[in-house]
Amino acid sequence: MNKDKRIFVAGSTGMVGSAVIRQLTKQGYTNITGSHHKRKPEKQDHVQYVKLDLLDQKAVENFFSRYKPSYVFQCAARVGGIHANNTYRARFLYENLEIQNNIIHQSYLNGVDKLLFLGSSCIYPKFCPQPMKEDYLLTGPLEHTNEPYAIAKIAGIKMCEAYRDQYGCNFISAMPTNLYGPNDNYDLENSHVLPALIRKFHEAGIRKDPVVEIWGSGAPKREFMHVDDLSGALVFLMNKYDGRAFVNVGTGQEISIKELAGIIKKITGYGGDLHFDTSKPDGTPRKLLDVSRLINHGYEPSITLEEGIKSVYEDFKENYARLIST
């Protein structure tokens, strides 16, 4: 990416969007425009923030013709954990399709040099062979709880491929694994497992609760990546990768929810017991990405899970009031 040209980070108040801005800043990019919607971004001198409803087709059209970005990181989406995905099925499908359609189509119409679309590892079939290679897309039925979200993400990948095939657009896609990091969502109904556990253990510790309840059996295995490793990979791909095929982004290492809970219990210093509520759904039994494509192109993550959770817990305690109110 040329350092003088404008970079648009859609969804810059989110965990991923804010990490991309941190990463771009660290690497010396100064012509950055971010969009926000409900949340207010923290002011930064080299970033221009624009309030924009990405569901509004006309507003997105006006934004692109006014700001004319050269590069686009599509980090805006309706995101949530199992409960939110399963309850707001229509909303997850509609909003994600609408947001990505507006951004991808306007990027084409306005001659954007390069766009990066962000999918998610839930695009793969429920009983996908592990670790999941990019080639396994569309080889079996999806997990029911997040099927609408996954369908929207698959449509986004296919849209980038189709715009490349028909119009020659350099639009690439990355599929991140489960992420955690600063600006994560700590809402107990709407969050992913790792931030939800940090909050539960922290608050149970303060109240001196004897037991913490954990959704599901604890047996499912998951992969977790610190968002600063992800943002490093995304900027790397924007600079070094022009392929049609999407790229998995993860650590290539998995851990059971039970083991994860043990690490978070230790880091938060919680002294009580754990109870696994098996009446709640487990979701996909295993979700480990095959990250050889990314590694073969020359990028490797560097933050270990324990060191990542320790730093996130410090950030959580420091920003507790703000993080639990968003």
Q: How many residues does the structure list for the chain?
A: 326
Residue 23 is a binding residue for ligand NAP (CB under 6 A): no
Q: How far apart are CA 192 and CA 109, in angstroms?
A: 35
20-28, 70-78, 83-91, 239-247 -> range binding ligand NAP (CB under 6 A): 70-78
Hey, which residues between 178 and 197 contact ligand NAP (CB under 6 A)?
178-179, 185, 192
Nearer to ligand NAP, 34 or 216 (CB): 34
Between 17 and 301, name the residue whose CB sits nearer to ligand NAP: 17
Q: Please tell me the distance from the alpha carbon of residue 223 to that of residue 225, in angstroms, as a whole number.
A: 7
Q: Which stretch binds ligand NAP (CB under 6 A): 1-9, 10-18, 108-116, 272-280?
A: 10-18
The two three-digit tokens of residue 35, written as one number:
């969009």
| Binder of ligand NAP out of 11, 81, 250, 301 (CB under 6 A) | 11
Least Å distance, CB 209 to ligand NAP, is: 27
CB of 122 to ligand NAP, least distance (A): 8
SS3 177: coil
Residue 23 CA, chain-centre distance (Å), reads 15
Pick from 7, 8, 9, 14 the residue near ligand NAP by CB under 6 A: 14
The residue of the chain with the least Cβ separation from ligand NAP equals 14
Question: b vs e for 72-88, b when ≥16 Cβ sit within 10 Å of the residue's Cβ?
Answer: bbbbbbbbbbbbbbbeb
Q: Identify the active-site residue in 149, 163, 241, 299.
A: 149
Stretch that binds ligand NAP, among 24-32, 37-45, 138-146, 199-207 (CB under 6 A): 37-45
d(CA 199, CA 219): 21
CB-CB contact of 168 with 115 (8 Å): no
Q: How far is the CB of 109 from ligand NAP (least distance, A)?
A: 19
Binding test (CB under 6 A) with ligand NAP, winner from 7, 8, 9, 17 = 17
Q: Report the alpha-carbon distance of residue 274 to residue 218 in Å, rounded.
A: 10
Tokens of 166: 């028909």
The least distance separating ligand NAP from the CB of residue 87, rounded to whole angstroms, comes to 16
CB of 295 to ligand NAP, least distance (A): 18
Is 149 one of the catalytic residues? yes
Q: Which stretch binds ligand NAP (CB under 6 A): 47-55, 108-116, 278-286, 313-321?
A: 47-55
Applying CB under 6 A, does 79 fall inside the site for ligand NAP? yes
The whole-angstrom separation of Cα 172 and Cα 237 is 8
DSSP 8-state code for residue 213: E
Secondary element (H or E) of residue 310: helix 305-318
46 contacts 25 by C-beta, under 8 angstroms: yes
Which of 7, 8, 9, 13 contacts ligand NAP by CB under 6 A?
Answer: 13
The yes or no reply on residue 287 touching ligand NAP (CB under 6 A) is no
Which of 37, 209 has the CB closer to ligand NAP?
A: 37
Helices (H) and strands (E) in the chain, counts: 11, 14
Sign for the CA dihedral angle at 136, 138, 143, 149 comes to positive
- Just list the catalytic residues: 149
Q: Where do contacts with ligand NAP occur on this chain (CB under 6 A)?
A: 11-17, 35-39, 52-55, 75-79, 99, 118, 120, 176, 178-179, 185, 192
